[in-house]
Amino acid sequence: MKTRGKCRKLQILWFAIVLTFGGTATTESLAASLKQQVVVKDNVVRLADLFHDAGRHGERVVLQSPDPGRRMVLNAKWLYRTARSFRLKWKPLSAMDHVVVERATHHISTEQIQETLGAGIRSELELSDRFEIDLDNRLLQMYLPGEALPTVQIETLRIDRQTNRFSAIVVGAGGKHRGSRITVTGKYYRIIDVPVLVRRMSSKEIIGAKDIRLVTRRADKVDMNALRDVSELIGMSPLRTLSAERPVKRSEIRTPVLVEKGSIVTMIFRTDRMVLSAQGKALQDGSKGDTIRVLNAKTHKVIDGTVVNSGTVTVSPLGRLASR
């Protein structure tokens, strides 16, 4: 009986040993598996970044991470050699096995760089006018490491006030990292709002508020005689047909024609005691306030008349003859 009891105790002890040490051996012998796409947030790549179940060596550094905005491809041969050096249970299934490693990155766009430069130029020149920046390299951009702040600032700024050209060094919040410091050159231009017609208009039309809109243009591209105020266009007529979407010069508009050449007009003779009217023929176009020549239909004399509204002119009681 004692022998049977002792054997039973030995069986229980053996089972306990298997559970304890056998379980541990199973855990350490788990096969590592390869990750396919890796994004690291540091400037180094660790073993655990590349393999699942990397074990106690998971935090070991295996190589430098790529620069912000860059990527690297680790092939099967390199991965197998690395796994063996850390005694990982892993083999490539084929020569095509690989891992793509990227750096966590903040992308700084061209627009962000322009905004930063604009603020710097405005402060440097104490400008109150609006202006725009034209970069020599319009595809300019920056990549900052993911652990850095996604902002940029101007380190140095040089401005030529005669040519409006500038040169600047722009740095990112992670300035110690390669690629986060760039030289930017370009030119700045003052911009203004100018009124333009929204449609093609003929000389017989009167420009209204709905026919106008404001557009932003570079000041150096706008003719010095172009109208700058919407109110200067409203109520006027084109001198000749005007196209849409371009600034209008003062010489291209006039007050609306109320009397057309060759049309029949009413001539008003006004005194303190009476008002007389007669018909005549306009010998030229006339806007409100213009003095035009009118042929009196009865006397066939040409006299001067002042346009007061559509189809109506006033003449002096003496009916001054127009100079031929």
What digits encode the pLDDT tens for the residues 260-297? Answer: 999 999 999 988 888 889 999 999 999 888 999 999 98
pLDDT of residue 26: 38
Collapsing DSSP to helix, strand or coil, 137 comes out as coil
What digits encode the pLDDT tens for the residues 266-276? Answer: 999 988 888 88
Q: How many residues does the chain have?
A: 324
The pLDDT-based confidence of 7 (bands split at 50, 70, 90) is very low
Hey, where are the domains in the chain? 25-103, 108-191, 192-254, 257-315
Q: Are 65 and 36 in contact (CB under 8 A)?
A: no
CB-based contacts of 183, cutoff 8 Å, min separation 6: 167, 168, 169, 170
More confident residue, 211 or 19: 211
The pLDDT-based confidence of 63 (bands split at 50, 70, 90) is very high
Query: Has residue 313 got a pLDDT over 70?
Result: yes
In the chain, alpha helices (H): 2-17, 23-28, 47-50, 76-85, 110-125
Q: Are 313 and 265 in contact (CB under 8 A)?
A: yes
Question: Running DSSP on this structure, what letter comes out for residue 179?
Answer: T
Q: Which amino acid is at 131?
A: F
pLDDT of residue 221: 92
Q: Into which CATH architecture does domain 25-103 fall?
A: Sandwich (2.60)
pLDDT of residue 36: 86
pLDDT of residue 282: 95
Structure tokens at 213: 């809109």
| Locus of tokens 């003095």 | 291
| Residue 38, H or E segment | strand 37-40
Query: Has residue 23 got a pLDDT over 80?
Result: no
What digits encode the pLDDT tens for the residues 125-176? Answer: 877 788 999 999 988 888 888 877 888 889 999 999 899 999 999 998 655 5
Domain 257-315 has CATH 3.40.50.1820: no
**Separation between Cα atoms, residue 212 and residue 193, nearest integer Å:** 12
Q: What is the mean pLDDT of the chain?
A: 85
Distance between alpha carbon 230 and the CA centroid of its chain, in Å? Answer: 26
Query: Has residue 20 got a pLDDT over 50?
Result: no
Q: Which amino acid is at 88?
A: L
**Separation between Cα atoms, residue 309 and residue 195, nearest integer Å:** 28
Q: Which fold has domain 192-254?
A: Type Iii Antifreeze Protein Isoform Hplc 12 (3.90.1210)
pLDDT of residue 135: 94
pTM confidence score: 0.57
Span 247-254, average pLDDT: 94
